[in-house]
Amino acid sequence: MEHKPQTYAASMKGSRGIKRIIKALGYSADGVRSACEEQGFRQLLWIHAVLFAGLFFADFTLPVKMILVLVSAMSIVVELINTGLEAAVDHTSEEMHVLAKKAKDVGSAAQYTTLAALAVLWMMALTG
């Protein structure tokens, strides 16, 4: 019987229990570090840092603060996904292709929608 070398994907599977959780945390940390190499992600983190700081000085109720934190976190998650999507598209091909453009545009639209929701919620919170 012929033995096939494991692919990278196959070598990442099969861990169970705490070992799997520890590996997953490492992959997540790698993902955040990778995203931090992108200027857009760093800018987004600064925006949210300012917004989080603003929450300490704003006289909002706890539920309002919780909603604003949740939508900020959602924006960061969407940007992480968008960054991964763009990396996957670029890995596939850096040539212009209608589907590559569509994938990147949809990822960008997801982030825009999240930021628009965040802006609306902040305006609602500030105007009471």
The CATH number for 59's domain is 1.10.287.3610
Residue 96 is predicted with a pLDDT of 87
- Give Cα separations from 46 to 25, 33, 42, 114, 124 (angstroms): 24, 15, 6, 16, 22
In terms of domains, do 44 and 33 share one?
A: no
Q: Could you tell me if 63 and 74 are in contact, meaning their C-beta atoms sit under 8 angstroms apart? A: no
Catalytic annotation present for 79: yes
108 in a labelled binding site: yes
From the list 2, 37, 79, 94, the catalytic residue is 79
Confidence of residue 77 (pLDDT cuts 50, 70, 90): very high
In this prediction, what percent of the chain has a pLDDT beyond 70? 90
42 in a labelled binding site: no
In terms of domains, do 28 and 67 share one?
A: no
In terms of domains, do 75 and 33 share one?
A: no
Residue 73 is predicted with a pLDDT of 97
In a domain, 1, yes or no: no
In terms of domains, do 29 and 47 share one?
A: no
In terms of domains, do 53 and 16 share one?
A: no
Say how far apart CA 46 and CA 3 lie, in whole Å: 50
> Is the pLDDT score of 103 beyond 90?
yes
In terms of domains, do 23 and 46 share one?
A: no
In a domain, 113, yes or no: yes
Over residues 27-68, the pLDDT tens digits come to 999 999 999 999 999 999 999 999 999 999 999 999 999 999
Q: Could you tell me if 111 and 79 are in contact, meaning their C-beta atoms sit under 8 angstroms apart? A: yes
117 three-class SS: helix
In a domain, 2, yes or no: no
97 in a labelled binding site: yes
Quote the tokens at residue 120: 């609306």
94 in a labelled binding site: no
**Mean pLDDT within 68-95:** 93
Residue 56 exposure: Cα atoms within 13 Å on the Cβ side: 5
Residue 7: φ, ψ to 5°: -80, 165
Number of domains the chain is built from: 2
Residue 93 is predicted with a pLDDT of 82
C-alpha 127: how far from its chain's center?
29
Which element (helix H / strand E) includes 60? none
95 in a labelled binding site: yes
Look up the domain containing 16 and give its range: 7-37
Say how far apart CA 75 and CA 85 lie, in whole Å: 15
